[in-house]
Structure 1
Amino acid sequence: MSDSPDYSVADDLAVALTLAAEADLIAMDRYRAQDLGIQTKADKSIVTDADTRVERMIRAHLAEARPHDAVLGEEFGSEGSSNRQWIVDPIDGTSNFARGVPIWGALIALLVDDVPVVGVVSAPALERRWWGAAGLGAWVQHHGGEAQRIRVSRIDRLTDATLSYNNLQTWDQYGHLDTLVDLSRRVGRTRAFGDLWSYMLLAEGSIDIAGEFDVKPWDIAALVPIVTEAGGRVTTISGSPALDELNVVATNGLLHDEVLGAFAG
C-alpha cells in the first residue's frame, strides 16, 4: 500500500469536478459525431472513442494531481495500490451516447478504505452536474448556474412511491423478474429511466426507489455519496453496503427495509 498525503474531502471534490468539466468537453465534441468510432467488447457491450479519450484524460490528470492514488476504470482496468482509489466510468450510458439519447455522463468517484467519499456525475447533454462528498451534502447544477442542494423525498408508503427498474432483461437474467413484478403491483408508479438518471432523480426527490442488476463498481461508486448525502440509502439486495454483489438498490431511506424485504420474501 502506498502512503498518500492527507488531502481534505473538499480538495478531492475539487479535483473530481475539474475532471468532470474536462470529460464534458471531450464527450460533447464526439456526441452525435458522424465519424464516432464504436467497437464491441468481449462482454458484448460497446465502447466508443469518446469513452477511451475521456478515461485516458482522467488517468493522466490523476497521475499529476493524485500520483499516490490507485485508479480503476471501465475501459483500462486497475492501476496502482492505495487505500485511496478513484473509480471511473468515462461514459455511463454508452449505448445512449452512441444512439443520440442524451441520458449519459461521466461518473467519477473516490473511495477511501473502500468507502465512497466523493462522487461526481456529469451529464452535459442534459446540462446537469451532480456531486456529493462526505459531510458536504449533495448538490446539482443546472445549465452551469448556481449549485442547489438536493434531498431525497419523504415518501414513506410504497403505494405513493415511484420505482425505476432500469432493465427488465437483467432482472430476468438474475432471477428477480417476479420480484420486480410484485413490487410494481405495490408501488404507485413504475418507470425505467435507466443508468445514472434513475439515481440522480432519486437524490433530487423526484422518484423514491431505483434498482438494477449486472452493475460493476464503476456503475455505482460515484452515485453512492450523492444519494447518501441527499439522505438516501444504497445497498445490495441483501442489505450489504459493500456493493460487491452485481446488484444495487437505492431508496429515500424510509422505504429501504420494505424494499429489501421484497427480495427476501
Structure 2
Amino acid sequence: MTLYSETPAPTGRDPRPASLVEQAVQRLAANIVAGLYAGTTLPTQDELAREFDVSRTVMREALSMLVSRGMLDVRTKTGTRARPMREWQVINRDVVEWRFLRTPDDAFMRDVIEFRTEIEVRAARLAAERGTPEELVAIRAAFDAFRQYKFGDPEFFEMDEQLHAAILKASHNRFFDQMAPIVRAALGLVAKAERAAPALGDEVIELHRRVVVAIEARDPVAAEATMRALLAHTATDVEYLITQK
C-alpha cells in the first residue's frame, strides 16, 4: 500500500506547538498506520517511553487516547495490540486524518463517498433554506478564492475544502458541521485522483459555481440537485483512483 502523502489535506488545527502527549500520539498513530505493529504486540509502555524519549506518564496518556479511539486493544495477559482499521472510530477528526495517511482500501473510499453524498446533498439544501446573509457571503467568498487558483494547485484543493466547510456551516445543523473533518480528508483523496487524471476535473469549478448560485438564489431543490451532480463527479474520480491502484 502506498503512503498517502502526495496531497495532505489542510488540517485547520490550532497552530500552537503540540504537547508531548500529542506528539507521542501522532508518532504512535503513524506507526500503527504504517503497519509497524501488525501481527504482534506493541513494545511495553516503558520501552515506548524510552524510544520516544518521553516520561512513562506521557506515554500512558498517549496510549490511552488511542485506546479510546478504538485503535488499540489492551489485555492483561496478551499485551497491547493494534486493532484492524475497520474497527477504528470513524467520526473522529484525528482518526480520519490518520486513516488517510495511506491510500485507503476500496470499500472505505466508497463508504466515504456515500457518506458525503448523504451529508452534503442535504447540507446544500439546508444552506439554501437557512443560511444567513453573512454565511452566503462567506460561501461566495470561498468560491471566489477557490476559482482563482489553477486546477492542481495545492491552494485549489485547500479552498475547495473551505467552500464545502462553509456550506456545512450554513446548514445550521450541528451534526453536519461536525462532519467537516471527514469531508476534508475525502477531498484530499479526490485531489490525488484528480491530479492523476486532470481531465476528470474539467467540470469541477462549474459544478461548484452552480451549487453556490443555487444556494444564493435560495433554491433548495437546485442546490440539492447540483450538489448531487458534483458528488457524482467525485465518485467517478474515486473509481478512477481505485482502478489505478
Q: Same fold (TM over 0.5)?
A: no
CA radius of gyration, larger in: 2
Higher strand share: 1
Q: Which has the higher contact order (CA 8 A, sep 6+)?
A: 2
TM-score after normalising by structure 2: 0.29
Normalised by the length of structure 1, the TM-score is 0.27
